[in-house]
Amino acid sequence: MPEFDTRDPLEPHFWDERFAQQFMPWDLGGIPEQLRGLVASRDAAADAAVVPPVALIPGAGSAYELDLMCEAGWEALAIDFSPNAVARAKKVVRRWPERIVQADFFTWQPDRKLDVIYERAFLCALPPEHQPRVVQRWAELLPHDGLLAGYFFFGDTPSGPPFGIARAELETLLAPHFTLIEDEPVPDSLPVFEGKERWMEWRRR
């Protein structure tokens, strides 16, 4: 384990240090299987006249997924409040640098209505007391019928990140705003998440 000066994951420098030292156990190094399936299924169902989905990847880190979404024609944007994360993402996703932005998820404002928010190791990056705030922000950003899709980490991990959440607690937080429409095991989990995460899709009420 490398030595770090910052222990507060609410501070950008916490993540800057970890990217600088290449300590990224949450980084898959590519695009996960179930996201590929989601993008493919939406593309197959889309009519040529339909406007491409507008998607947000908060806490994007290396932003591998942005490449897949943009290649499919989505109007996707990756945001992260860590300067080092943004710099890394722009090296990883070279074709779409203008779609990688340094921003705070809680204050960032979209310039158009979102259709999809992709969750990947963002909720579990924050201490449990801040997780209701994330859910509230998801609900604010997504309109009726918008889709919250991604990977949700369950468990009791008070010394995170990653900070797990009990499934019942997640459902309590999401139920006033969202309806669960997909729930699957994850075949390509990283060791830090293995056996404790689910692919889920939630439709905004």
In words, the CATH class of domain 12-204 is alpha beta
pLDDT at 128: 94
48 pLDDT band (50/70/90 cuts)? very low
79: closest CA among 69, 91, 66, 67? 66
**Residues 15, 29: Cα–Cα separation, whole Å:** 17
Specify burial of residue 121 (Cβ count, 10 A radius: 0-12, 13-18, 19+): buried
pLDDT at 43: 66
pLDDT (tens digit per residue) in 74-91: 999 999 999 999 999 999
33, pLDDT greater than 60? yes
pLDDT at 47: 53
Mean per-residue pLDDT, 85-113: 96
pLDDT at 160: 84
46 pLDDT band (50/70/90 cuts)? low
Which pTM value belongs to this model?
0.94
pLDDT at 156: 86
Domain assignments of the chain as residue spans, ordered by start: 12-204
pLDDT (tens digit per residue) in 189-198: 999 999 999 9
pLDDT at 45: 55
25, pLDDT greater than 90? yes
**Residues 42, 188: Cα–Cα separation, whole Å:** 21
CA atoms within 13 A on the CB side of 195: 2
Q: Which structure tokens are listed for 8?
A: 């507060």
Concatenate the DSSP letters of all residues of 122-165 into one string.
SGGGS-GGGHHHHHHHHHHHS-TT-EEEEEEEBS--TT-SS--B
Region at 22 (left for phi over 0; alpha for psi -120 to 50; beta for the rest): left
What's the chain's average pLDDT? 94
pLDDT (tens digit per residue) in 1-16: 788 988 899 999 999 9
Q: Distance of alpha carbon 96 from its chain centroid, rounded?
A: 18
**Residues 168, 180: Cα–Cα separation, whole Å:** 13
